[in-house]
Each structure stands twice: as structure tokens, then as C-alpha cells.
Structure 1
Amino acid sequence: MADNYSQATVEPDLPGELFTESELDALSAACGLVARPVGGGKLYFFADLYFLVDGEDEDGYTFDCLEFLQGKLNSLDQEAYPAITIHGASTCSKMRPGEFGGFAHIITRDHIRSFNTWEWLDEEARLPGDAHQLDAFFAAREEVAFRWHVDDVLCVRPDLTREQAFQVLKLARTCHDATVGINWEVLEATAQHLFGDKPEPEGQEA
């Protein structure tokens, strides 16, 4: 017989004054999250055995810890507390396939996003192998994808290595202005942010 565990930690530490004793009891009973005082009137939340996104509290009512924490986040200063994150790992006392993995939740004032390795592996396994299949894959999901390549970055910054150019692509993807999108100027500006100004051609005065 094997034992399964789902351990998790919550960041950052949260002001203890936000929580009543009954709320802390509900977090523990329904979701496995325990609160430990860490000084400064704050609480560190963690699940040392079993973490659940939702469950039943001691009175039998359904309790969703992500929505609950989002409500608490909205009562805090946005600059001091921009988000709450939960990182976790699922393990097993025996080396059984499919019993190990990780998960994460990020809670902001407007959104709750979740990720786990099982869904990621499933999506990766179903990804198509060539460009035509990739277009069909996104069409089936009613989506389109705009693809940029490392060589595109090297067109505007030939002084970079391919690894550096890929860093530019990754940063541009995550940090671009959605009202502008990604274009040649965005790639050039992102490269400048990461690696400084483009070198002047040899023989040309600055």
C-alpha cells in the first residue's frame, strides 16, 4: 500500500488580522492549509501533508481556498501585495508512475491561474509535429498563433548569440504591450533592454 502526499507553501506571509479563527479552521479542514505565526503579526501558510484547492469545512460546507484568498488579497495594499502564489508538489511513498508532479496557483485581484505538470505533459504529447498541423491544432481551438524565430531577432541584432536571441523572444512574449504586440521595434527594444545598445559598425564614429 502506498501513501500519497500533496504539500504546498503560500507566499507571501499574510497579516494575521485578516483572518478569524473560524476561517483558519476552515482553511485547515477543507484545504489542508495550516497557519504559523512568523512575527510582525503575519502568518505563514503551508500544507505539510495534503493540499486541496477546495473541500468541505467542519460544518460540511464547500470551501474554495483560491477564491477565499483572492477575497483577502483585495483587502490588502496592492503595491505591498500584488499577488498570492501557491507552490506545491505531489509525491508518493512508492515509485509509481504518474504519482509525482508539481502544481502552482497565482492569485491576483482579477484572475486565478493554475498550472500542473500532468496537464502540461498531456498538452505537450498532443502538440502537432509540423507547421501545417500546428495551424490545424490552433484552428480547432479557435485560436491563431503568431510565430517569431531566433533568426528574426538576429536580423535586428546580429551581434547576439542564438541563445541571447532566444532570451529576447521569451521576454518579448511575456512582457510586450498587448495594444502593440510584437514587431521589429519591440524585438530591438527588448534586445537593448537585455544586452545594451547595438554595437556601431566598425569604422563608423559614435
Structure 2
Amino acid sequence: MADYYSQTVVQPDIPVDAITPLELALLTGIYEHELGDASIYFFASEGPSGIVWLDITELRAMLADEIIAPGSIAGMARDKLDAAGPEEVEIEIDLSDLGDATIFQAIVRRCDQLDHVTITSGWTCSKMRPDGFGGGVTVVTADHILSSSTSEMEYRLLDRCEYGELGCAPGHGSHVLLRLDEADVRQEIITMAEVGSPAGADPSAVTGEDIRMACLKAVEATDLAVQHEAIAAIAARAAIAIAGQRSA
């Protein structure tokens, strides 16, 4: 039987005073850690944990001082607490959806000493299994959580082998055409306020949480199937034209 490992380090060290009690309880459940003079180094010698158990009484005290935004880790913990039975003394927090990167992003947004956090993992196996080795990196900023892996590096290299410099385009044949960025939404709010439309628009009253909720609703309500089909047809015609020019 093979053992799989995901050895992970978090850089840079996180200032202690930037971490809330709930975040500290979760991060120390996910990772091993070393406490410095004013910061904490998080790492995992075998792999981060996706499940953290918290004492209900302690969790209730932690949430008393938390700002609970929609879709946040604190919101998930509060929902778990509300659903707990009277006989339960611990709560299981499953971080498979909202994980460590989400926690670090909240810290980056509050902490002037951090502009990003990098989570680097090396995947190894106790036997030489072909699927047991590789690695990944996640970069967390105030506005983005972006990840890549050695598999994606392999795809990019295969693209370059097949297409040359055309292979430098990301996606290994899958092209991102449109991305809704919350920073762009914020700028659009500022522009609307400058021209007075809608009436009474006040950018300072709109929080990051407001924008996050609005983006999620906009994505959920938007169906780009027709546009996708039309763009695919444009690309198909362009490919035929390129082939025709080459053979002419």
C-alpha cells in the first residue's frame, strides 16, 4: 500500500496580530506551525488537513468577535453551530470548498504588511507510483486566488512542442474569453457615480462583500451559451480561412 504526501509551506510568515481567533484555530488545525516573535510559520510535513474539529463553546466565543460576511468561513462556522444538536460538544468544519486560501485572503485584505501569500506544495509517494509525484502553487492576493500545478506546466510544454510560440497561450486548447473581475466592477461603480447614473450612487457605501454577492448573482443569472456557439463558429471560419491561405 502506498502513502501519498502533499508537503506544503506557506510564505511569508503571517503576523500574529492579523489573525482572528477563529482563523488561528482553523489554520493550526489545517497546518503544523512554528510561532516566532510576532508571526507564525505554517507548514505541513505530510499534507494539510481538510477537516478541522472545534469545541462548540470555544467556537461560540470566537464567533462573537467575528465579522460574518456572506460566503465566509465565519459564516460557514456559524451555520454549523446553529445546526448543532444540544448533545454535541464539537463541530466538524469541512474546508474542502472554502479552504485555507480563503482564510489567507481575508488576512491579506486586512493586513498592511502582506500583499500576497504563496502556498507551495510538493506531491510525493512512498512508492514510485506514476500518479504520486508533482507539485502545485497557489498565490493569494486581496483580489485573486490563482493556482497552477506541474500538470499544467506539462500541458504548456506539450503545447509549445506542438505549436511553437502559439503554444504559449494558456489552457492547452481551452481559451478564457471573458472573466468577471471584482476590481472592474468597483471601477464601474466609480464611473457611474462620476456621471450621476444611477442617481445617488455612492461608491464609498459599496463594500467588497456587496460586490462579491453581486458578482455571484450576475454569474448565476447569466447564460452565455448562444454567445459561446457564435464565437466558436467565428473561430471555425477563421481556422478554415487560415488553412485556405496556407494551401493557396
TM-score range, shorter chain: 0.5 to 0.7
Segment of structure 1 superposing worse, 9-18 or 20-29? 20-29
**TM-score normalised to structure 2 length:** 0.47
C-alpha distance after superposition, 1:73-128 (max 9, x if no partner): 11111xx3221111110101111112111111111111111011123324544667
| 1:50 matched residue in structure 2 | 47
Offset of residue 24 of structure 1: 2.9
1:103 aligns with 2:98: no
Letter in 2 for 1:56: I
| 1:13 matched residue in structure 2 | 13
Closer, same or farther in 2 for the Cα pair 1:124/1:130, shift >3 Å? closer
Look up the SS of the partner of 2:92 in the other structure.
coil
Larger helix share, 1 or 2: 2
Q: For 1:121, which of 146, 154, 173 is the aligned residue?
A: 154
Closer, same or farther in 2 for the Cα pair 1:123/1:35, shift >3 Å? same
For the residues of structure 1 that align with 2:36 and 2:16, how far apart are their CA atoms? 10
C-alpha distance after superposition, 1:15-49 (max 9, x if no partner): 112334543332243xx31221122x111111111
Closer, same or farther in 2 for the Cα pair 1:42/1:138, shift >3 Å? closer
For the residues of structure 2 that align with 1:61 and 1:49, how far apart are their CA atoms? 20
Letter in 1 for 2:43: F
For the residues of structure 2 that align with 1:33 and 1:7, how far apart are their CA atoms? 10
Closer, same or farther in 2 for the Cα pair 1:2/1:142, shift >3 Å? closer
Closer, same or farther in 2 for the Cα pair 1:12/1:127, shift >3 Å? same
Letter in 2 for 1:73: V
Letter in 2 for 1:2: A
| 1:65 matched residue in structure 2 | 100
For the residues of structure 2 that align with 1:126 and 1:67, how far apart are their CA atoms? 32
| 1:202 matched residue in structure 2 | none
| 2:35 matched residue in structure 1 | 37
For the residues of structure 2 that align with 1:61 and 1:5, how far apart are their CA atoms? 22
**TM-score normalised to structure 1 length:** 0.55
C-alpha distance after superposition, 1:135-174 (max 9, x if no partner): xx9886366xxxxxxxxxxxxxxxxxxxxxxxxxxxxxxx
For the residues of structure 1 that align with 2:172 and 2:24, how far apart are their CA atoms? 43
Closer, same or farther in 2 for the Cα pair 1:139/1:57, shift >3 Å? closer
Q: For 1:86, which of 119, 122, 127 is the aligned residue?
A: 119
Gaps of 5+ in 2: 54-90, 178-248
| 1:141 matched residue in structure 2 | 175
8 Å CA contact 1:24–1:35 kept in 2: the answer is: no
Closer, same or farther in 2 for the Cα pair 1:45/1:142, shift >3 Å? closer
Q: Percent identity?
A: 30
- RMSD between superposed Cα atoms in Å: 3.1
8 Å CA contact 2:31–2:43 kept in 1: the answer is: yes
Closer, same or farther in 2 for the Cα pair 1:49/1:71, shift >3 Å? same
Offset of residue 2 of structure 1: 1.3
8 Å CA contact 1:87–1:105 kept in 2: the answer is: yes
| 2:109 matched residue in structure 1 | 74
**Alignment length (residue pairs):** 136
For the residues of structure 2 that align with 1:43 and 1:139, how far apart are their CA atoms? 41
Letter in 1 for 2:110: S
8 Å CA contact 1:24–1:34 kept in 2: the answer is: no
